[in-house]
């Protein structure tokens, strides 16, 4: 067995792992990061940008939100059901972390809200301008994967500081002696075991979004049936299982919930085209929310979970499609392409040709109900009532924004199934505000830290999309906090 020795061992070189490694090295520690994949960056390579509050960018944009205002919003949103010290420390650090990233060469488009909530939903639904969207390598527009540029800069910074990143070398076990974390066992790409000894171990393995069995056990969702998440290979819950085996306490685990069509990245234009405030019904044909609220993907995900079989359908007709094609989407997501309706006919043709079963077009509402598996009588009754409300310019059921009250009565009809979706899992390992791992009895396990989504139990039941960029924000800042505390612990 190969032997290694260092000050700080970081288990994974994704977003929070790299933040922890850089911060420990900046504070004088020698660091080895073990990474399971053949590249660094983890799920963050897929995203767009982190939260920051009080950053210089926001000051230049005259965004006045302070860390304490965000803290109060967060704590009201979660009903104080989470660790206030950890939330406070995270937001207090988050503005400085944006500058810290800029110093590494990360460039941002600016700070923006993720969506605009309708007036009637504002108190708990309005998104603040906290999302610092990263400029992609080589320029271009904001969009999925642009945060890859941030991961590249962070990887380069870690290397510059002498952090040893061992790729394709998953950690299998945390070594605990006399109640203290003293190292790890890893396996390199040739299958050789490595025993690495260190004075502190930081776990950062990104949750278990790609482990259907753990998803079912821990959250009740069945992947591919009533949950379609970004199951990024490698996110199999290793950190949680190793930490629990080492004596860590457990927190509740949730999904970072949103909604999506199955295999959405392969049908991205279609997903964007149907993510509009048209007519949304459940399997019974009943409306279940005011559709102007769908830009809040978390609230909409929750609403879909509350429907029979966790599924709903968004429906529009030929007249509405013509309106979208002419004027663009009623709601422009920051994520989907700008020209979704220019791509629509081709994308639908391709989807039908490959037998993709989650969209349909039909000459009648009856045919649409049959094709999608919606209760026919329920749908016809709903459409009749909805069209009458549209004619009266008033949504008597949910008070939806009048601008979006467009009747559904001009064939062809188009529909798409929407399911709960998830970016990944949140929580599992119990930590305190210093990111030290604790037992169920709140006793610190000396030398053991956990960061990122493995330890992110600060959202309670629902992801606070009101402060967007929050998972990357937590991952970066918990990583920085852990690196600083681990370096201090070693010096003590």
Binding site for ligand FAD (CB under 6 A): 11-12, 14-17, 34-37, 42-44, 46-50, 144, 170-171, 204-206, 230, 234, 238, 423-424, 452-453, 469-473, 475
Q: How far is the CB of 268 from ligand FAD (least distance, A)?
A: 11
Token pair for 424: 């990944």
412 contact partners, CB below 8 Å, separation of at least 6: 317, 318, 361, 362, 363
Q: How far is the CB of 33 from ligand FAD (least distance, A)?
A: 8
In the block, tokens 């830290």 appear at 449
State how far the Cα of 342 lies from the Cα of 356, in Å rounded to an integer: 20
Tell the smallest beta-carbon distance from residue 355 to ligand FAD (Å). Answer: 25
In the complex with ligand FAD, the residue whose CB is nearer, 279 or 458, is 458
Report d(CA 175, CA 180) in Å as an integer: 8
Contact 474, 280 (CB under 8 A): no
User: Rounded to the nearest whole angstrom, what is the least distance from the CB of residue 296 to ligand FAD in the complex?
Assistant: 15
Closest CB to ligand FAD among residues 127, 290: 127
For the bound state, the minimum distance from the C-beta of residue 485 to ligand FAD, rounded and expressed in Å, comes to 17
| Nearest residue to ligand FAD, by Cβ distance, number only | 14
Nearest-approach distance from CB 375 to ligand FAD, in angstroms = 33
When the beta carbons of 238 and 395 are compared against ligand FAD, the nearer one is 238
Give 102 or 188: the residue with its C-beta nearer to ligand FAD: 188
CB crowding 208-241: b at 16 or more within 10 Å, else e: bbbbbebbeebbebebeeebbbbbbebbbbbbbb
Who contacts 435 (Cβ-Cβ below 8 Å, separation ≥6)?
202, 449, 450, 451, 455, 478, 481, 482, 485
By beta-carbon proximity to ligand FAD, the closer residue of 11 and 279 is 11
Non-local (6+) Cβ contacts of 20 within 8 A are 8, 10, 202, 204, 449, 451, 479, 480, 482, 483, 486
Q: Which is nearer to ligand FAD, 272 or 424 (CB)?
A: 424
Selection from 389, 383, 444 nearest residue 415 by Cα: 383
Of 285 and 295, which has the nearer Cβ to ligand FAD? Answer: 295
Shortest approach of ligand FAD to residue 160 CB, angstroms? Answer: 20
- Tell me how far apart the alpha carbons of residues 183 and 198 are, in angstroms, rounded to a whole number: 5
């Amino acid at each position: 067995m190969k032997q290694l020795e260092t000050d700080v061992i970081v288990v994974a070189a994704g977003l929070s792992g790299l933040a922890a490694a850089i911060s420990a090295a900046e504070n004088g520690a020698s660091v080895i990061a073990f990474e399971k994949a053949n590249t660094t960056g983890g799920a963050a390579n897929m995203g767009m940008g982190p939260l920051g509050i009080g950053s210089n960018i926001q000051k230049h944009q005259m965004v006045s939100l302070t860390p304490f205002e965000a803290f109060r919003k967060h704590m009201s949103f979660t009903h104080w059901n989470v660790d206030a010290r950890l939330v406070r420390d995270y937001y207090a650090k988050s503005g400085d972390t944006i500058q810290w990233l800029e110093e590494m060469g990360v460039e941002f488009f600016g700070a923006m809200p993720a969506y605009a909530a309708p007036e009637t939903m504002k108190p708990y639904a309005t998104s603040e301008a906290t999302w610092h969207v990263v400029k992609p390598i080589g320029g271009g527009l904001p969009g999925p994967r642009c945060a890859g540029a941030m991961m590249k800069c962070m990887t380069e910074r870690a290397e510059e500081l002498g952090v040893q990143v061992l790729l394709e070398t998953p950690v299998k076990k945390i070594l605990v002696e006399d109640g203290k974390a003293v190292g790890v066992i890893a396996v390199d790409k040739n299958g050789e075991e490595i025993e690495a000894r260190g004075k502190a171990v930081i776990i950062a393995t990104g949750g278990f979004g790609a482990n259907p069995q753990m998803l079912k056990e821990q959250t009740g969702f069945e992947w591919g049936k009533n949950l379609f998440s970004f199951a990024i290979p490698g996110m199999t819950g290793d950190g949680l299982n190793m930490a629990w085996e080492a004596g860590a306490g457990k927190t509740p685990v949730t999904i970072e919930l949103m909604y999506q069509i199955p295999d959405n990245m392969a049908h991205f234009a279609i997903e964007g085209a149907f993510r509009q405030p048209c007519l949304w019904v459940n399997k019974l044909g009943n409306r279940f929310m005011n559709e102007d609220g769908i830009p809040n993907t978390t609230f909409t995900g929750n609403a879909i979970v509350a429907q029979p079989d966790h599924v709903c359908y968004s429906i529009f007709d030929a007249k509405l499609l013509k309106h979208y094609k002419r004027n663009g989407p009623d709601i422009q997501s920051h994520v989907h392409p700008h020209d979704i309706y220019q791509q629509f006919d081709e994308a639908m043709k391709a989807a039908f040709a490959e037998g993709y079963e989650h969209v349909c077009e039909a000459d009648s509402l009856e045919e649409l109900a049959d094709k999608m598996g919606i209760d026919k009588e329920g749908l016809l009754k709903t459409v009749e009532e909805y069209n009458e409300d549209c004619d009266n310019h008033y949504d008597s059921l949910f008070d939806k924004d009048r601008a979006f009250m467009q009747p559904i009565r001009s064939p062809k009809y188009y529909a798409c199934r929407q399911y709960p979706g998830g970016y990944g899992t949140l929580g599992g390992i119990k930590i305190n505000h210093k990111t030290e791992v604790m037992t169920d009895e709140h006793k610190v396990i000396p030398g053991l830290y956990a960061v990122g989504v493995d330890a992110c139990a600060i959202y309670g039941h629902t992801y606070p999309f009101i402060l967007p960029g929050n998972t990357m924000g937590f991952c970066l800042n918990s990583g920085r906090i852990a690196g600083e505390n681990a370096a201090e612990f070693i010096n003590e």
